[in-house]
């Protein structure tokens, strides 16, 4: 914060807290080491536990501190008061914002080294302002779009000069909104109200973020200084939070690795565990198991507590015996006579063996019931028919495997929540490692309803018949559960939607957007006309286009897709799709055709050009369709009004015009006026090769009568009734 100064209070203001914290640190120190070998464990009376550290090789990246001999510092000048491993907090001496006039105040508050893991704790701090007739606002710097506030408080002038609490008269205090909290930096604005009497014109405006517990303990003394016009503001304590990120291949490697662990930022102590923070699946902390104390982030950091040395906390009315992680208290009463003891022990062993026998029999019966239940689900989910399909088709047999439930439980550590990659409309996706070390994505339905089961079976049928580099590969499925499980290739780089509209630091270059569009068009064209079963995807959208590490496009999520015979051009079906991508003609007629996918692909082209979501809020706060807005601007020759500025900066404006005209033809209301996906693919190939011409105009004029691509279906010959068709139909039969 600008103008760093701090409160002038008695030196004893921190004494109560300091005593408690010193006791906690002493207990931790006695339990075991807190820093890496050879590294300083304290500075200026403050303990420095790893992952924090002083000096090269003593800290994890982003957790480095410095020591000037008397003070522990974060960054160049911010004093660290204490560090808590169990709470995941760092208390610092924070500056304030102060002004002596009444013309308003503008400034900022930020965490030192804001690129690191430290963020302001919204739960442990308050926003406080001193002054007269003013409104103080705390503004998150990460706000995108309309201005929002993390905190707002206001003050009025007091009728008398004596103020007992910070409750809006001369001083206001408010919490920090958790929705906009936990950020590294904020803006601060103070606006004075006009036309009101100022009883405290001699008091400066002072605004700061402060540890709410510290402020509550010192509020009486602060208000006393305020009433006596002795409010001098050096600095105040504030609380930061930190956490570790365990999402990614590195975390999975560490989870399964049997080799020695490195000094990376993880729960390295054998007697430690990790836990989620506020249900945030990619942020975790470490702690010692019950009965252990110390630093869970270093080897042997969590040491056993000797409970026998702390009788107040662990009472024992006999002989106390310390055990790893616990203790035992033996009675001082005399032992039973030998005969009674022998009889009791014999009876106990007899009962134990009987119980073990019963448990063994019960376990066998349980395994038998589980095995029969899995066989029942396998038959209900058309497993026998799928086995025939695989055995009769060599190409399918080489690509698709029927997995057992044990294989997938082992691959996902029994579907551990740590393995969840995300969820969509048709299920939850887990990351797994098969026995052959292949990393896969495993989809499991959330809701056990017939419609979800039919969609899973439908996806198995369709993907088992497809083989294209831009369609996500299906490795197999498991039919031994009530809802089938699907096993795909693992795509590591997220969705096209995330890279266009998410928080990606590196926006997609125009050349990559054009290539992704071409690869997606090739995949859809293949599904329409070149696959062994013609498929209408029915849910083409940027969220269903996955990207590999090399930004290769992979079309996914075929739960809503429909397959048709060679002599059909469309089918009547229930409306299904995503708002903003749905073909209007399909919506009003319920007739699904290949041109429905063409319309959805046209929306994706508009997204790639404008980098705007399919449904967005306009300046008039009305919800606007990207498709209708885009077509209107193209027909008015106003592409520049919506074209992403990055495309112009990269010199792709001319190619963008061609792609924009192609998108406009795909988005026409009548399906017969739209091109086929093969024509779209050919046009995009020409654009990528800098050979774009008037192909789009010809394609749109000839689209209803064009036979250049639809005829390729007939070239495959007449397809006879097969196991594939039987399996598709069986998935639609009610059970």
Average per-residue pLDDT for the chain: 78
> How confident is the model over 542-552, as a mean pLDDT?
92
> 546 lies in a domain?
yes
> 444 lies in a domain?
yes
Contact predicate 249/437, CB 8 Å: no
> 374 lies in a domain?
no
Contact predicate 222/249, CB 8 Å: no
| pLDDT the model gives residue 255 | 42
Q: How confident is the model at residue 619 (pLDDT cuts 50, 70, 90)?
A: low
Query: Do both 451 and 518 map to the same domain?
Result: no
Beta bridge partners of 237: 93
Query: Do both 58 and 193 map to the same domain?
Result: yes
> Which backbone phi and psi does 691 adopt, to 5 degrees?
-120, 25
The fraction of the chain above a pLDDT of 70, given in percent, is 73
Place of tokens 């869970």: 296
Of 489, 510, 540, which residue constitutes the final position of a domain? 489
Contact predicate 147/160, CB 8 Å: no
Contact predicate 601/521, CB 8 Å: yes
> 731 lies in a domain?
no
| pLDDT the model gives residue 126 | 93
pLDDT over threshold 80, residue 730? no
Q: How confident is the model at residue 339 (pLDDT cuts 50, 70, 90)?
A: confident
Query: Do both 425 and 311 map to the same domain?
Result: no
Query: Do both 325 and 396 map to the same domain?
Result: no
Of 489, 505, 537, which residue constitutes the final position of a domain? 489
> 727 lies in a domain?
no
**Which has the minimum average pLDDT: 162-166, 486-490, 703-707?**
703-707
Q: What is the tally of helices (H) and strands (E) in the chain?
A: 19, 37
The fraction of the chain above a pLDDT of 90, given in percent, is 28
| Cα gap 55→38, rounded to integer Å | 10
Contact predicate 143/243, CB 8 Å: no
Query: Do both 674 and 706 map to the same domain?
Result: yes
| pLDDT the model gives residue 703 | 44
Q: How confident is the model at residue 9 (pLDDT cuts 50, 70, 90)?
A: very low
Query: Do both 467 and 553 map to the same domain?
Result: no
**Which has the minimum average pLDDT: 285-289, 546-550, 615-619?**
615-619
Counting Cα atoms < 13 Å in the Cβ hemisphere of 118 gives 25
> How confident is the model over 546-558, as a mean pLDDT?
90
pLDDT in tens, 74-133: 887 889 999 998 888 999 999 888 876 656 788 888 887 645 678 888 889 999 998 888
| pLDDT the model gives residue 645 | 92
Query: Do both 535 and 448 map to the same domain?
Result: no
| pLDDT the model gives residue 567 | 62
Q: How confident is the model at residue 424 (pLDDT cuts 50, 70, 90)?
A: low
Map 70-130 to HEC letters. CCEEECCCEEEEEEECCCCEEEEEECCEEECCCCCEEEEEECCCCCCCCEECCCCEEEEEE
Q: Sign of dihedral through CA atoms 704, 707, 708, 709? A: positive
| pLDDT the model gives residue 503 | 66
pLDDT over threshold 70, residue 701? no
Contact predicate 144/209, CB 8 Å: no
Residue 472 belongs to a domain with what CATH number? 3.30.200.20
Query: Do both 61 and 152 map to the same domain?
Result: yes
pLDDT over threshold 50, residue 706? no
Whole-Å CA distances, 275 to 244, 413, 509: 10, 16, 38
pLDDT over threshold 70, residue 494? yes
Q: Sign of dihedral through CA atoms 290, 295, 296, 301? A: negative
* Residue with more model confidence, 534 or 338: 534
Query: Do both 288 and 433 map to the same domain?
Result: no
pLDDT over threshold 80, residue 720? no
* Residue with more model confidence, 481 or 73: 73
For 154, the enclosing helix (H) or strand (E) is: strand 151-155
For 383, the enclosing helix (H) or strand (E) is: helix 383-392
**Which has the minimum average pLDDT: 475-479, 559-563, 670-674?**
559-563
Beta bridge partners of 117: none
**Which has the minimum average pLDDT: 48-57, 311-320, 410-419, 444-453?**
444-453
* Residue with more model confidence, 574 or 695: 574
Query: Do both 477 and 620 map to the same domain?
Result: no
> 607 lies in a domain?
yes
Non-local (6+) Cβ contacts of 536 within 8 A are 527, 528, 561, 562, 563, 564, 592, 593, 594, 596, 597
> 623 lies in a domain?
yes
pLDDT over threshold 90, residue 682? yes
| pLDDT the model gives residue 447 | 54
Residue 639, domain extent: 496-714
Which range has highest mean pLDDT (25-34, 317-326, 339-348, 602-611)? Answer: 602-611
Active site residues: 539
Q: How confident is the model at residue 272 (pLDDT cuts 50, 70, 90)?
A: confident
- Number of domains, the chain: 4
Whole-Å CA distances, 503 to 427, 495, 496, 506: 24, 12, 12, 9
Query: Do both 154 and 113 map to the same domain?
Result: yes
**Which has the minimum average pLDDT: 260-269, 433-442, 665-674?**
260-269
pLDDT over threshold 60, residue 704? no
| pLDDT the model gives residue 90 | 93
pLDDT in tens, 173-190: 998 877 655 677 888 999
* Residue with more model confidence, 380 or 172: 172
- Is the whole-model pTM more than 0.75? no
Counting Cα atoms < 13 Å in the Cβ hemisphere of 119 gives 17
**Which has the minimum average pLDDT: 365-369, 436-440, 523-527, 642-646?**
365-369
> How confident is the model over 645-666, as a mean pLDDT?
93
pLDDT over threshold 60, residue 144? no
Of 460, 489, 518, which residue constitutes the final position of a domain? 489
Q: What angle do CA 508, 512, 515 make, to 5 degrees?
A: 145
pLDDT over threshold 70, residue 493? yes
pLDDT over threshold 50, residue 698? no
pLDDT in tens, 14-70: 333 343 333 344 444 445 788 998 999 999 899 999 999 999 889 988 888 999 888
**Which has the minimum average pLDDT: 106-120, 233-247, 610-624, 696-710?**
696-710
Residue 643 belongs to a domain with what CATH number? 1.10.510.10
> How confident is the model over 586-592, as a mean pLDDT?
90
> 351 lies in a domain?
no
pLDDT over threshold 80, residue 204? no
Which bin fits 239, alpha (ψ -120 to 50), beta or left (φ > 0)? beta
Query: Do both 573 and 672 map to the same domain?
Result: yes
């Amino acid at each position: 914060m600008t103008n760093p100064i701090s409160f002038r209070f008695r030196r004893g203001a921190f004494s109560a807290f300091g005593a408690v914290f010193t006791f906690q640190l002493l207990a931790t120190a006695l339990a075991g080491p807190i820093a890496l070998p050879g590294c300083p464990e304290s500075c200026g009376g403050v303990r420095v536990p790893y992952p924090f550290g002083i000096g090269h090789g003593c800290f994890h990246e982003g957790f480095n501190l410095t020591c000037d001999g008397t003070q522990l510092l974060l960054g160049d000048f911010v004093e660290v008061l204490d560090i808590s491993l169990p709470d995941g907090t760092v208390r610092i001496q924070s500056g304030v914002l102060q002004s002596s006039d009444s013309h308003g105040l503008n400034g900022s508050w930020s965490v030192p080294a804001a690129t690191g893991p430290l963020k302001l704790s919204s739960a442990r701090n308050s926003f406080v302002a001193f002054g007269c007739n003013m409104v103080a606002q705390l503004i998150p710097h990460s706000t995108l779009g309309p201005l929002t506030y993390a905190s707002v408080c206001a003050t009025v002038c007091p009728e008398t000069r004596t103020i007992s609490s910070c409750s809006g008269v001369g001083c206001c205090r408010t919490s920090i909104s958790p929705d906009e909290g936990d950020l590294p930096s904020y803006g601060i604005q103070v606006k004075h109200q006009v036309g009101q009497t100022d009883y405290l014109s001699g008091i400066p405006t002072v605004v700061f973020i402060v540890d709410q517990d510290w402020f509550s303990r010192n509020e009486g003394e602060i208000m006393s200084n305020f009433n006596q016009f002795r409010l001098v503001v050096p600095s105040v304590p504030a609380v930061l939070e930190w956490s570790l990120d365990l999402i990614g291949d590195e975390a999975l490697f560490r989870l399964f690795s049997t080799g020695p662990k490195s000094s990376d930022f993880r729960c390295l102590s054998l007697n430690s565990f990790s836990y989620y923070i506020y249900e945030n699946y990619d942020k975790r902390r470490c702690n010692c198991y019950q009965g252990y104390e110390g630093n869970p982030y270093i080897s042997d950091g969590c040491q056993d507590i000797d409970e026998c040395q702390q009788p107040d906390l662990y009472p024992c009315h006999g002989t106390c015996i310390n055990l790893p992680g616990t203790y035992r208290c033996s009675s001082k009463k005399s032992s039973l006579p030998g005969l009674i003891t022998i009889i009791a022990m014999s009876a106990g062993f007899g009962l134990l063996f009987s119980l073990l026998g019963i448990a063994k029999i019960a376990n066998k019966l349980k395994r038998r019931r589980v095995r029969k239940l899995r066989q029942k689900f396998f038959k209900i989910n058309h497993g026998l028919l799928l086995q025939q399909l695989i055995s009769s088709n060599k190409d399918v047999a080489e690509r698709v495997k029927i997995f057992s439930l044990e294989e997938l439980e082992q691959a996902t550590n029994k579907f551990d929540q740590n393995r969840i990659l995300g969820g969509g409309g048709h299920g939850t996706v887990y990351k797994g490692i098969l026995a052959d070390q292949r990393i896969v994505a495993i989809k499991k339905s959330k809701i056990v309803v017939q419609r979800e089961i039919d969609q899973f079976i439908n996806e198995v049928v369709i993907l088992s018949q497809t083989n294209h580099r831009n369609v996500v590969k299906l490795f197999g499925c498991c039919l031994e559960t009530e809802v089938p499980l699907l096993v795909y290739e693992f795509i590591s780089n997220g969705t096209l939607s995330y890279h266009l509209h998410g928080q990606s630091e590196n926006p997609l270059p125009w050349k990559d957007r054009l290539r992704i569009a071409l690869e997606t068009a090739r995949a859809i064209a293949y599904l329409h006309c070149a696959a062994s079963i013609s498929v209408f995807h029915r849910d083409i959208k940027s969220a269903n286009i996955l990207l590999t590490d090399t930004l290769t496009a992979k079309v996914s999520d075929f739960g809503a897709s429909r397959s048709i015979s060679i002599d059909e051009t469309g089918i009547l079906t229930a409306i299904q799709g995503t708002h903003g991508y749905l073909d209007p003609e399909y919506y009003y007629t319920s007739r699904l055709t290949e041109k429905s996918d063409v319309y959805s692909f046209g929306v994706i082209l508009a997204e790639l050009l404008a980098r705007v979501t399919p449904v967005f809020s306009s300046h008039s706060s009305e919800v606007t369709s990207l498709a209708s807005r885009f077509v209107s601007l193209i027909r008015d020759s106003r592409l520049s009004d919506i074209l992403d500025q990055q495309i112009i900066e990269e010199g792709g404006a001319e190619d963008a015009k061609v792609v924009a005209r192609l998108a406009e033809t795909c988005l026409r209301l009548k399906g017969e006026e739209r091109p086929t996906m093969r024509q779209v693919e050919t046009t995009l190939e020409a654009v990528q090769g800098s050979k774009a011409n008037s192909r789009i105009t010809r394609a749109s004029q000839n689209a209803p009568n064009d036979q250049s691509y639809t005829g390729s279906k007939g070239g495959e010959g007449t397809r006879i009734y097969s196991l594939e068709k039987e399996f598709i139909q069986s998935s639609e039969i009610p059970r």
